Structure 1
Amino acid sequence: MRNFHLAGRSTVHAQNAMVATSHPQAALAAIEVMRAGGTAADAAVAACALLGVIEPQSTGIGGDCFALVQPRGEGRIVSYNGSGRAPMAATPEWYLERKIHSVPLTSAHAVSIPGAIDAWEVILRDHGKFGLDTLLQPAIKAAEEGYVVAPRIAFDWKNQFDKLKSGTNTERYLLPHGKPAVAGDVIHQPELGKTLRAIAKDGRDAFYKGAIAEDMVETLRGIGGLHTLDDFAGHTTETTIPIGTIYKGHDVWQCPPNGPGITMLVMLNILSRFDLTKFPAVSIERFHLEAEAARIAYMMREQYIGDPAQVDVDVVRILAKDFADEHVSKIRMDRVIDLPNIAPPMNPSTVYITVVDKDRNVCSFINSIAHSFGSAIVSNKTGVLLQNRAGGFRIQPGHPNCIAPGKRPLHTIIPSLVTKGGRAVMPFGVMGGQYQPVGQTHVLTNILDYGCDVQEAIDMPRGLHYEGVYQLEDGIPADIVEGLKKLGHKTTSVVSPLGGGQAIWIDWEKGTLTGGSDPRKDGCALGY
């Protein structure tokens, strides 16, 4: 139990249904959908569509989506891969011939086909009671009638001012009065509202075919893109079974590659060989072990993971006990192990939504436009801000994540679901680009090793070992920072906090739900 003398958040409790998002208005929209008889999937889509308007730096219909859904919280879990593909003309040779050795993050080449809208329709087909015509209404209202900018969103808007000033159509759509929006400003996006109305009326085809797709293609090709109408019309969502591992008697599930959830599972396999409870939750030893597990797992990801539709990814071998043991033996408590410096191509943003409805349908749902404000390219007439997820590709023939026609890039967004004995106990996720596997591991071990409730687990200070430097939040005490330096870690503080998380714990015996939401964002957990 938290100390009520100190600033903090209480967990949120309910019996019927619960949602946690990064914005109160989105959480409220999800609750209203479920009160009206909608499912967890319905609520997640409604909340996400609204977030695409009111949290434009993180998500939108110009981005991608992944989800894990478990009907009634028992039995089969379904994984949805709503990530987009590179244009069919995007060969590595095309780029190399033009001396382009990495994908420019604010160019048309960074824009993969947005997969979110198709994924929403497929998820609703399988698990929803309502359609996009109903569920997009809160987003349409916010776009057309205006929404009030929240503090964390204003913080990101200010930090991305230079990017937005030099983008394509971003000054027009995202810099009202020529300056960043501030908390309390009211923003209108009528063009985006019109686009959402078309999707509400005609579904995914309104986005991937016809006038909206034509405008997106015209915009992209006008600034050098290789996209065609066929690239948009041919997009599909993949439905698969999740991959998982066991940690402290719980099954932990992730979407398979090209999602990066396998990275988190490898981290858990490594950390399961140590007794974290021997060390305090905020300690030199705990943060050192977490960093070493992350460095090993990220190295694995860089070496082996790409789009399995075009690359052979041996998931079974990577998640095998022997694979973890091979690396665990190298970890030392008195120094940093010598590993290659891994520098992933991108470190983007996102939103995560977790929902459990009154029938205990569980939806772990994540949607992203990649970097903050994506590619900084807004389609000419539609108001759609396009992702820069293709910036995650390598232009390196032979690399598993090398760009290729119709290929999906190695992603960063990962929804997670924890079960025990086949029953869902916690749908959760941690946003924050490359931090996500570390963040999920941090939150889960806070709960299963250190006995935290979901809010305490999310609140706890964080660190990310990225590109050879241990990035540490302000909440980590100075003596721990110094101790990590003595072990050989290069450390730095971070300007923006690391990610944001949401979690719901399901207590089947009591029939209750407990929710937590990250104070690093504007949002909350709500239940009824």
Structure 2
Amino acid sequence: MKKICFFLALTFSPLLLQAQDRITGKLFATRSEVIAQNGMAATSHPLATQVAIDILQKGGNAIDAAIAANAALGLMEPTGNGIGGDIFAIVWDAETKQLYGLNGSGRSPKSLSLAYFKENGYEKIPSHGPLPVSVPGTVDGWFALHERFGSMEMEEVLEPAIEYAEEGFPVTELIAYYWGRSADFMDKYPNFKEVYMPGGEAPETGEIFKNPQLANTLRTIARGGRDAFYEGDIARTIADFIQEQGGFLSYEDLASHTSEWVEPISANYRGYDVWELPPNGQGTAALQILNILEGYDFDTIPFGSTMHVHLFTEAKKLAFEDRAKFYADPDFVDIPLEELISEEYAAERRELIDLNRAANSYDAGKLEQGNTIYLTVADEAGNMVSLIQSNYRGMGSGMVPPGLGFMLQDRGELFSLEEGHANVFEPGKRPFHTIIPAFITKDGSPWISFGLMGGAMQPQGHAQIVMNLVDFDMGLQEAGDAPRIHHEGSSEPTGYKMTDGGILQLETGFPYETIRELMRLGHDVGFTLGAYGGYQAIMFDEDKGVYYGASESRKDGQAAGY
């Protein structure tokens, strides 16, 4: 009988499985924060974190270290990112004491039109192959960041990734899992096996993987700068390959690409300024969720309670309706951004929430229109970088240009084919984007640089992290380890338009009583694996003069400092 009771206790008390007999902090916290004085890095791979720390200790700043870590991650975690993808960043510059935003997303081929998809019977843009390929913005983004804020020569910044690509590195368990799943599908595409399946198989856990093609590409970039990627032989190889496969990306598309410096946008949540980047990304949704939730008193609503989950889910539904309607490339459509993140609009939307019933759907507001990696680094001077980079759909499009050692992204899939939609496909346009970095300031000073990977989970995760820190008084590591809410609606071909009540997916750790009451409110509660994102964060304690680092327990991440 005792054995049966113990089994039932473990089965129905999942919090006990997270961290038993913890002396300090919440039961679900996996460990304490990392604390250091001189510098801190938090990435989704321990070796990439080490690369960032090494760059800092050699005299590089946070921007240099972030680029170096990102380059290493493109090699070590090809299941989520690489130089065939896009990049976004928020930088706190200690000298000017300001935040700067970088939009490094690429544009659609200029020779491809909406008419092409219509005439060929496409109801949506394919998820793989040459048609969803847009210009890869990462390399230009690196050099834009480096030109404005970097301090170390680019050859030295990229050297760790080049060395690992040549000499090899051991593949971690989680990455080996996703790598194998991708190989089962992508081995049919040209050049995939040559680069990603040495010996005919995807690498196993602990196996040493080398990518000499990528090493050569990175060395060319390090010596020749961004032009070596966008205007030289690399660009010609990419363009020729995509057009041979039936796509439209051209040398001219690559040569004309530029990143854009943008003003971060913010909302004040109970005295803390939460910063995101404006569309074409989805960071605005996190701010909208927080603005709606600020109208409720979470001093009286405990974490994990029915009302906590219900209110969050309804706020998410409201924000994501606007996300589906309004978010797009601002160069092609006027976005009512100020209204979307205004307190007045949040109050108006908040009135639609029924405290006693889940809504099947909400209409978008009526306004006047005018798999990914995340990392963060901080240095001794006080510079902080919040950086996110991705190929989309894990490894990307399946398109691996010959001899270059990387895969191109498939972000173009996220365009709509609906005429008149803000995010409808147009030549030379940036698609709606899921990857978003975040930052929090307090009274004009830097507090936390953070992000959370994972498609539509990202704005949901950002809002939950802020609530965990501010409303539920969690520490930096606890805020990431806490069980998460992921609401997923049914979707249009674009993959992000909710049209019904959707499924409320709750991570292990929410009480059975909460789940039962949510079902009574009309929520369709489900469970899933791997859909709750990957979190990294650095907090600056100005009074003590130290950095706190936290990393994702659901991934292979690590925070380290010195």
TM-score by length of 2: 0.90
Please tell me the residue identity of whatever aligns with 1:162.
D
SS of residue in 2 equivalent to 1:135: helix
Matched, 1:512 2:546: yes
From 247, 265, 285, the counterpart of 1:263: 285
Identify the range of structure 1 (150-159 vs 500-509) with the bigger mean alpha-carbon deviation. 150-159
Once the two structures are superposed, what CA deviation does each residue of 1:267-319 show, in whole Å capped at 9, x if it has no partner? 11001111123222122221111111111111101111110001111111111
Question: Offset of 1:73 from its aligned partner?
Answer: 7.7
| 8 Å CA contact 1:18, 1:525 repeated in 2 | yes
Unaligned 5+ segments in structure 1 are 343-348
Distance in 1, matches of 2:39 and 2:119, equals: 55
For 1:192, the equivalent position in structure 2 comes to: 214
SS of residue in 2 equivalent to 1:366: strand
Matched, 1:213 2:247: no
For 1:295, the equivalent position in structure 2 comes to: 317
For the aligned residue pairs, the C-alpha RMSD in angstroms reads 1.7
Distance in 1, matches of 2:202 and 2:526, equals: 28
| 8 Å CA contact 1:90, 1:403 repeated in 2 | no
From 243, 254, 257, the counterpart of 2:265: 243
Matched, 1:276 2:298: yes
SS of residue in 2 equivalent to 1:70: strand
For 1:322, the equivalent position in structure 2 comes to: 344
Once the two structures are superposed, what CA deviation does each residue of 1:427-447 show, in whole Å capped at 9, x if it has no partner? 111111110000011111100
For 2:330, the equivalent position in structure 1 comes to: 308
Please tell me the residue identity of whatever aligns with 1:503.
A
Distance in 1, matches of 2:107 and 2:327, equals: 16
Distance in 2, matches of 1:464 and 1:296, equals: 14
Identify the range of structure 1 (405-414 vs 496-505) with the bigger mean alpha-carbon deviation. 496-505
Alignment of 1:67-466 (within 5 A): 67-72=89-94, 75-339=97-361, 349-466=371-488
Matched, 1:18 2:37: no
Please tell me the residue identity of whatever aligns with 1:38.
G
TM-score by length of 1: 0.96
SS of residue in 1 equivalent to 2:94: helix
Question: Offset of 1:60 from its aligned partner?
Answer: 0.5
Q: Against the structure 1 CA distance between its residues 94 and 263, is the aligned structure 2 distance closer, same or farther, given a 3 Å change threshold? A: same
SS of residue in 2 equivalent to 1:417: strand
Matched, 1:490 2:524: yes
Matched, 1:479 2:498: no
For 2:22, the equivalent position in structure 1 comes to: 3
Distance in 1, matches of 2:319 and 2:404, equals: 40
Please tell me the residue identity of whatever aligns with 2:445.
R
For 2:499, the equivalent position in structure 1 comes to: none
| 8 Å CA contact 2:318, 2:362 repeated in 1 | no
Question: Offset of 1:160 from its aligned partner?
Answer: 2.4
SS of residue in 1 equivalent to 2:90: strand
Question: Offset of 1:472 from its aligned partner?
Answer: 2.3
| 8 Å CA contact 2:457, 2:531 repeated in 1 | no
| 8 Å CA contact 1:497, 1:520 repeated in 2 | no
Q: Against the structure 1 CA distance between its residues 166 and 279, is the aligned structure 2 distance closer, same or farther, given a 3 Å change threshold? A: farther
| 8 Å CA contact 2:125, 2:132 repeated in 1 | yes
Question: Offset of 1:243 from its aligned partner?
Answer: 0.7
Matched, 1:61 2:83: yes
Unaligned 5+ segments in structure 2 are 1-18, 365-370, 490-501
Q: Against the structure 1 CA distance between its residues 433 and 168, is the aligned structure 2 distance closer, same or farther, given a 3 Å change threshold? A: farther
Please say which structure displays the higher CA radius of gyration: 2
Distance in 1, matches of 2:428 and 2:193, equals: 31
| 8 Å CA contact 2:486, 2:531 repeated in 1 | no
